[in-house]
Chain A
Amino acid sequence: MRRIIIRRLVQIIPLIFAVIVMNFVLIHLAPGSLFDVMTSEQQITDPAMLDQLRHTYGVDQPVTVQLAKYIWSVMRLDLGYSYRQNAPVFDVIMQQLPATLILMLAAIGIALLVGVTAGVMASIKVNTIWDNLISLGAVFFFAAPSFWLGIMMTVMFAVKLGWFPVGGMRTIGVDESAIGAVLDVMHHLVLPATALGLFYAATFARVMRASMLEVARLDFVRTARAKGLSGGRVVLAHVMRNAMLPIVTLLGLQLGTMLGGSVVIEAVFSWPGIGSLLFDSVMSRNFPMVLGVLILGSLLVAVCNATVDLLYLRLDPRIKAR
């Protein structure tokens, strides 16, 4: 157990290094630079002022020196300073990362709950109308763009019915107790988490159904039935537990894409997460911010994947930490 954690942590170091180098190169290959964007926005034309800013932003040095300096500062756990936001990169990200984490966790929760339940239902009632309906729903939510789903849900549940707020994370301008604040965030969370989660639920449902059907044919299930266990117990404790393995694999793979997918949902629901920051930073070629988000993002995904590995151990004791 400890070995697996340590090994995972050690693997993160070259990963982060690769993330920095690749993205640094990519963003410098894209035409236009932070310097261009900043000076054009600020309408600065005075050559002396331009030189001074070049020096302030550190773009008067060769790109390789900039990269080396950046890596050195990351090694000292310093993500740098964003002149665009006039604040340290880490501070800006930390203001917005928690919102994205909450949204991701809630979406994963919904995806697992809905997806696994639907998959199990479909496999139990295989080839019935229920199975077909669930498959239809899965195809629909898989195919529907999440931003469209988000807008439709907003129109339906926020504008027409008024059950949920239109966007944002908190009711603005209201001072609440801690419990009130949590409930308020949860109220705001329902629509975006559902819109984001249903897409993944669709894949989970399909994979779960297939996996359940496969496991259900195995010998140990027949044994379980033969020794007189109830149908529900066989399904939940024997079939489902073994059928969960592909879901866990899928979950680990999709955590990364979920971080990307949340960008769109955050835009639709004006969720104050990392998505808009990342988008804006890419558009303005603000590479310290882009790299900062990607480093923290890859750390997050790496930690999640390590957690998934640990989950494997728990689900299937035959897998041993080597």
Chain B
Amino acid sequence: MSGFSRRDFLMTTAGAALASGFVGSSSAATGTPKRGGTLVGTWGGFEPQSLFVPAGGGSSPYFTSTKVFERLLRLTVDLKFEPVLALDIKPAEDFRSYTIKLRPNVTWHDGKPLTAEDLVFNAMEYWKPISAGVTLDALEGAEAVDPLTVVLKFKVPVPEFFLKSVLAGKAGLVIPKHIYAGSNIITNPVNNTPIGTGPFKVKEWVRGSHVEFARHDGYWNAGLPYVDKLVIRWWRDPASRSAAFEAGQLDIGTFNPIPAPDIARLTGTKKFVAETKGYSNSAWITSVEFNQRREIFKKREVRQALLHAIDRSFISDTIFFGRAHPSIGAIPSSNSIFFTKDVQDYPFDVKKAAKLLDAAGYPVKSGSRFKMSLVSAGWFEENVKIGQYLKQAFEDVDITVELAIPDRATSLKRIYSDYEYDVAVSNNSGSIELIPATTQYYTTDGIVKGAAFRNATGYSNPKMDEIVGKMAIETDEKKRVSLVHEFDKLAAIDAPILPMVDLEPVTIARADVRNHSLTADFMGESWAEVWLDR
């Protein structure tokens, strides 16, 4: 947690408040930016169901909508907040209200100005009920003080880093009031041709192929975006993406666009670079969950024994071709603010696992200790292999394993609706701020039947709830960090669910694509500053 202090993040928004442009700080930002050209981008997944899905909708609509919509703030790769649509966000003394100063002269793509009324609408009609949900439970009201100033009021003290994370996060997109007011935001057909304040306007979406964005000439950050046209294209097949890179028809792809063995081949030509920066605020993990509703897995010793039976290095090196590393505790190591090594660890040790299982009261009887139903969510190709590996690993400690690798819809149902599993393999992507994306896997109020990517294990520990409850309202960042460490320690010891490996997603780009991967969640950034050196 080096280099982080309360002063740091208080200063960053205020200090950069008057800067009209973003400050590039990565090594990728060399040379004088050139204007013009068409940037063709993709990601390692499929076409979105709609260009903008107000309630979230996964990575694909997030990727497309963030080129059109902007947020108040953004988080850089070195985890500092930078102003985007807000010039300044200041908490009151008691942290129960925040004053937001909007950037002047920002216009929507249809020419209307962005005002405080838009922001009030977003806070109360969009963020709180739809995009952020429980995250902004404490938000009580929003009030426009003048055309460019809004005050957000909260029921309880709200930590500054937490609020800024929400505003800079997936839920914080700012949508136009004059388009959405009075309609059902979720089903509004305009979501297929969204109108925002961002650097790019939707020009044409050819379903099944690509979406073309044109430069927004009235963009508030004069001179940006650097490229004239942005095309986001989708391929359903990773090998086809490699071919498109090699044929010069694709410039940049985020989130593992190509098969892992192709990465070395492509970067070996020096025509392409592989970049791992730009994922820390959306850090993916592969986790193992133990269903506490089942007698055997309710025993902490059993869970710990099973964790010792897993060779995490094998998973990261062989299954992920080195594009992952073993996790420590519940927090990804890329989270330089909250990560700690000082937690219970589970090194691979079959003998110890067997001993712990014996001690827990499950000795080997006629060849088997007990039977386990293992569900590995089949939405990632790697999960298929992880499921097969875990079956072997658990069989090595004499457990009979019944493996199922269902498709997406079935996995969601079995793990998060019906709780029909003993041990499950799942994934999630968490932000730097741990509330609620990470904590809701461990808290009692995270148990919501049918709601995915939450506490599906049924784990409930009053001590844990208490720590997370304190984390939610602790406004002193130093104390908050130590609360998080307490949380992490308890999570690691109780181990209802723990990440096995932290994924290291990679962005592949042509060497002449500049200024990319400068923010903590590059895929969800506007890409205004990306330029082509050709």
Q: Is the CB of B207 within 8 A of A272?
A: yes
For residue A162, which residues in chain B have a CB less than 8 angstroms away from its CB?
247
Q: Is the CB of B249 within 8 A of A166?
A: yes
What 1/0 flags go to A43-68 for Cβ under 8 Å of B?
Answer: 11110011001001000000000000
- CB closest chain-B residue, reference A164: B247
Stretch at the interface among A72-80, A150-158, A233-241: A150-158
Q: From known contacts A33-B409, A172-B40, infer whether A45 and B454 are also in contact, taking CB-CB under 8 Å.
A: yes
For residue B531, which residues in chain A have a CB less than 8 angstroms away from its CB?
none
Q: Is the CB of A283 within 8 A of B407?
A: yes
- CB closest chain-B residue, reference A92: B207
Q: Is the CB of A159 within 8 A of B247?
A: yes
For residue A285, which residues in chain B have a CB less than 8 angstroms away from its CB?
409
What 1/0 flags go to B223-245 for Cβ under 8 Å of A?
Answer: 00000010101111101100110
Stretch at the interface among A16-24, A116-124, A252-260, A263-271: A263-271
Q: Is the CB of A172 within 8 A of B210?
A: yes
Q: From known contacts A37-B412, A41-B58, A267-B237, infer whether A158 and B247 are also in contact, taking CB-CB under 8 Å.
A: yes
In the complex, what's the smallest C-beta–C-beta distance from A286 to chain B, in angstroms?
8
Q: Is the CB of B208 within 8 A of A271?
A: yes
For residue B414, which residues in chain A have a CB less than 8 angstroms away from its CB?
31
What 1/0 flags go to A155-174 for Cβ under 8 Å of B?
Answer: 10011001001111110110
For residue A279, which residues in chain B have a CB less than 8 angstroms away from its CB?
236
In the complex, what's the smallest C-beta–C-beta distance from A40 to chain B, in angstroms?
3
For residue B209, which residues in chain A have a CB less than 8 angstroms away from its CB?
168-170, 172, 270, 272
User: Considering the chains assembled together, what is the distance between the CA atoms of A216 and B375 in angstroms?
Assistant: 60
Chain A CB within 10 Å, residue with most, of B184, B233, B413: B413
Q: Does B453 contact A (CB under 8 A)?
A: yes
What 1/0 flags go to B35-63 for Cβ under 8 Å of A?
Answer: 00010100000110110010111100000
Q: From known contacts A40-B452, A172-B40, infer whether A154 and B412 are also in contact, taking CB-CB under 8 Å.
A: no
Q: From known contacts A50-B450, A167-B240, infer whether A86 and B192 are also in contact, taking CB-CB under 8 Å.
A: yes
For residue A283, which residues in chain B have a CB less than 8 angstroms away from its CB?
407-409
In the complex, what's the smallest C-beta–C-beta distance from A320 to chain B, in angstroms?
43
User: Considering the chains assembled together, what is the distance between the CA atoms of A31 and B410 in angstroms?
Assistant: 5
For residue B162, which residues in chain A have a CB less than 8 angstroms away from its CB?
none
Q: Is the CB of B187 within 8 A of A56?
A: yes
Residues 271 to 310 of chain B near chain A (Cβ within 8 Å): none
What 1/0 flags go to B440-462 for Cβ under 8 Å of A?
Answer: 00000000101111100000000
In the complex, what's the smallest C-beta–C-beta distance from B54 to chain A, in angstroms?
8
- CB closest chain-A residue, reference B132: A43
In the complex, what's the smallest C-beta–C-beta distance from A85 to chain B, in angstroms?
5
Q: Does B105 contact A (CB under 8 A)?
A: no
User: Considering the chains assembled together, what is the distance between the CA atoms of A95 and B192 in angstroms?
Assistant: 14
Q: Is the CB of A173 within 8 A of B231?
A: yes
- CB closest chain-A residue, reference B409: A32
Q: Is the CB of B46 within 8 A of A284?
A: no
User: Considering the chains assembled together, what is the distance between the CA atoms of A44 and B452 in angstroms?
Assistant: 9
Q: Does B12 contact A (CB under 8 A)?
A: no
Q: From known contacts A32-B410, A42-B57, A169-B209, infer whether A159 and B236 are also in contact, taking CB-CB under 8 Å.
A: no
Residues 272 to 310 of chain A near chain B (Cβ within 8 Å): 272-273, 276-277, 279-280, 283-285
- CB closest chain-B residue, reference A50: B450
Q: Is the CB of B406 within 8 A of A31?
A: yes
Q: Is the CB of B240 within 8 A of A154?
A: yes
Q: From known contacts A87-B192, A277-B208, infer whether A172 and B233 are also in contact, taking CB-CB under 8 Å.
A: yes
Residues 181 to 230 of chain B near chain A (Cβ within 8 Å): 184, 186-189, 191-192, 206-210, 212, 229
Residues 213 to 272 of chain A near chain B (Cβ within 8 Å): 266-272
- CB closest chain-B residue, reference A48: B129
Q: Does A99 contact B (CB under 8 A)?
A: yes
Q: A49-B129, A155-B243 are in contact. List 16 more A-B contacts (CB 8 A).
A: A31-B409, A32-B409, A36-B409, A37-B408, A40-B412, A41-B53, A45-B448, A50-B450, A84-B50, A151-B239, A158-B243, A159-B247, A169-B209, A269-B240, A270-B236, A272-B206
Interface residues of chain B, those whose CB is within 8 Å of chain A, are 38, 40, 46-47, 49-50, 53, 55-58, 129, 133-134, 184, 186-189, 191-192, 206-210, 212, 229, 231, 233-237, 239-240, 243-244, 246-247, 249, 406-414, 416-417, 448, 450-454
Interface residues of chain A, those whose CB is within 8 Å of chain B, are 30-33, 36-37, 39-46, 49-50, 53, 56, 83-87, 92, 95-96, 99, 147, 151, 154-155, 158-159, 162, 165-170, 172-173, 266-273, 276-277, 279-280, 283-285
Q: Could you jot down 28 A-B contacts, CB within 8 Å? A: A30-B410, A31-B410, A32-B409, A33-B409, A39-B451, A39-B452, A41-B56, A43-B452, A45-B454, A49-B129, A84-B50, A86-B49, A95-B208, A151-B237, A169-B209, A170-B209, A173-B212, A173-B229, A173-B231, A267-B240, A270-B209, A270-B234, A271-B208, A272-B208, A273-B208, A276-B208, A277-B208, A283-B409
